[in-house]
Amino acid sequence: MPKICIGTASFTNPKYGFCSAKSDREKNQFFKICKENKIDAFDTAPRYEGSENLLGNFQDQINFISTKVEGIDPNLSEDKIYRGIINSIESSLIKLKKDRLNLCYLHQNELEIISNQKVINALENVRKIGLIEEYGASIYTLEELKCVLNMKRFGWVQIPLNILDTSFLQEIKVNKNEIKVAARSIILQGLLLSTDSQKSVLEKFPNFNEFMNKLRNISKKLSIHLSTLLISYIFSLKDLDLVITGTSSSSNLQELISASKLQLDKKTVGILDKLSSLPKEWTNPKLW
Ligand SMILES: NC(=O)c1ccc[n+]([C@@H]2O[C@H](COP(=O)([O-])OP(=O)(O)OC[C@H]3O[C@@H](n4cnc5c(N)ncnc54)[C@H](OP(=O)(O)O)[C@@H]3O)[C@@H](O)[C@H]2O)c1
C-alpha cells in the first residue's frame, strides 16, 4: 500500500481548493492523529504561504519532507541556477527546522525547465552536497510526464491521479520506468466531493456529470460513501509510492485513514480500472 503524505497547500490558505464545511482544523489535534496513525510524510512549498513555518513547529513528527523550488530562470548559467536553488532550499530548511530535505520537486512544470540539463545538473550537485536526498518533477500534462520519463534523471515524479483518471500512472507502467511516483489531487482539490463547486466544470465539460453519476451508482450499490470509494480505489492501485492528500480537517483525515485500508472487491476495481484508464481533460485544474 502506498504511504500517506499530507499535502499542505490549504493549511494556511483556506481559499485554496474546495474545502469541506468542517471546522475541525486545530493543528495540534490534526498532528496528534497523524502521530497515532504513524503518518510522518508531509509535502509543502515556499508558495504555500506559512505552511513551511507551520510544519517547523511539528518537525519532530516529520520523517519525510518534500518541498519545492521555483523562480528558476533557465537562461542563467548553471552556477547561478545552482546558487538560486541552494538559497531557496536553505530558506525552506530554516523554516522547516530540518538540516536536509528528503525530496525536492521543481515547482515549475514547463518543458523548458524540466528538460533543462543545467537545472538538473544543479539539482544533482545540490544532492551531492547533502542538502537533499532526492529530486523530482511535478507535472500537469502527458507531454511533461513523457519528458520526465525520457530524461531518466529524476528520482520522483508527482502526478495528478483520481478515481476517474489514472492515465498518467498507466503511462509510467507502459514505460516500465523505475521512477518513484507520488499521486496528488486525488479529490481534485475537493471538487469530486463538492457538488456546488462542480457547476462551472459541468458547463465546460459535459461528460463530467456522466462519470460522476457512474461513481454515485457504484457507491450506492456498495453502500459506501463516495469519499470512501474515491479514496479506497486510489489506495488499491499498485506502483504508487506516496499518496498526497490535501485535507486539513481532522475528521476528513480520519476518514481517509479508514478508507485507505478498505479493500474493494475485484469486480468493482475492474469497473473502476476501465472508467479511469482514459485521460480526462478536467483532471487539469488549469483548464477549469
Ligand atoms: N504543482 C504541485 O506540485 C502541486 C499541485 C497541486 C497540489 N500539490 C500538493 O498536493 C496536495 C493535495 O492537492 P489537492 O488540494 O489538489 O488535493 P486533494 O486531496 O485532491 O483535495 C483536497 C481538498 O479536498 C477536500 N477534502 C478532503 N477530504 C474530504 C472529504 N472527506 N470530504 C470533503 N472534502 C474533502 C479538502 O478539504 P478539507 O480540508 O475540508 O478536508 C481539500 O479542500 C497539496 O496540498 C499539495 O501539497 C502539488
Q: Which of the listed residues 23, 62, 189 should we mutate to test ligand 1's pocket, taking the one with most ligand atoms within 8 A of CB?
A: 189
Expressed in angstroms and rounded, the spacing between residue 245 Cα and the centre of ligand 1 is 5
Cell readout for 144 is 511533461
Q: Which of the listed residues 187, 232, 245, 283 should we mutate to test ligand 1's pocket, taking the one with most ligand atoms within 8 A of CB?
A: 187
Cell readout for 232 is 479506497
How many CB atoms sit inside 10 A of residue 178's CB? Answer: 8
**Contact status, residue 42 vs residue 6, Cβ threshold 8 Å:** yes
Cell readout for 98 is 530540518
Expressed in angstroms and rounded, the spacing between residue 194 Cα and the centre of ligand 1 is 12
How many CB atoms sit inside 10 A of residue 56's CB? Answer: 18
232-265 burial code (b ≥16 CB/10 A, e <16): bbbbbbeebebbbbbbbbbebbebbbebbeeebe
| Residue 100: HSE in the Cβ half-sphere, 13 Å Cα cutoff | 11
Backbone angles phi, psi at 135, to 5 degrees: -135, 155
Gap between the Cα atoms of 195 and 214, Å rounded: 15
Strands 41-43 and 3-7: parallel
Q: What is the pTM of this model?
A: 0.96
Print the domain residue range for 196: 3-13+22-287
**Contact status, residue 144 vs residue 171, Cβ threshold 8 Å:** no
**Contact status, residue 232 vs residue 263, Cβ threshold 8 Å:** yes
Please, where are the H alpha helices in 22-141?
Answer: 27-36, 51-56, 78-96, 111-114, 117-128
Query: The domain that contains 168 carries what CATH number?
Result: 3.20.20.100
Name the β-bridge partners of 248.
none
Q: Which residue has the cell 471538487?
A: 191
**Structural domain tally of the chain?**
1
**pLDDT number for residue 196:** 84
**Contact status, residue 179 vs residue 149, Cβ threshold 8 Å:** yes
Gap between the Cα atoms of 163 and 107, Å rounded: 24
**pLDDT number for residue 65:** 98
Cell readout for 103 is 525530496
pLDDT (tens digit, 0 to 9) for every residue of the chain, 288 residues total?
899 999 999 998 888 889 888 999 999 999 999 999 999 999 999 999 899 999 999 999 999 999 999 999 999 999 999 999 999 999 999 999 999 999 999 999 999 999 999 999 999 999 999 999 999 999 999 999 999 999 999 999 999 999 999 999 999 999 888 999 999 999 999 999 998 888 888 888 989 999 999 999 999 999 999 999 999 999 999 999 999 999 999 999 999 999 999 999 999 999 999 999 999 999 999 998
**Residue among 96, 101, 97 at smallest CA distance from 123:** 101
**pLDDT number for residue 198:** 86
With a Cβ cut-off of 6 Å, ligand 1 is lined by: 7-10, 17-20, 22, 43, 105, 107, 138, 158, 184-190, 193, 227, 244-249, 252, 255
Name the β-bridge partners of 65.
42
Cell readout for 48 is 504555500
Q: Which of the listed residues 47, 65, 185 should we mutate to test ligand 1's pocket, taking the one with most ligand atoms within 8 A of CB?
A: 185
Expressed in angstroms and rounded, the spacing between residue 20 Cα and the centre of ligand 1 is 10
Name the β-bridge partners of 103.
66, 134
Q: Which residue has the cell 461513481?
A: 215
DSSP 197-236: THHHHHHH-THHHHHHHHHHHHHHHHT--HHHHHHHHHHH
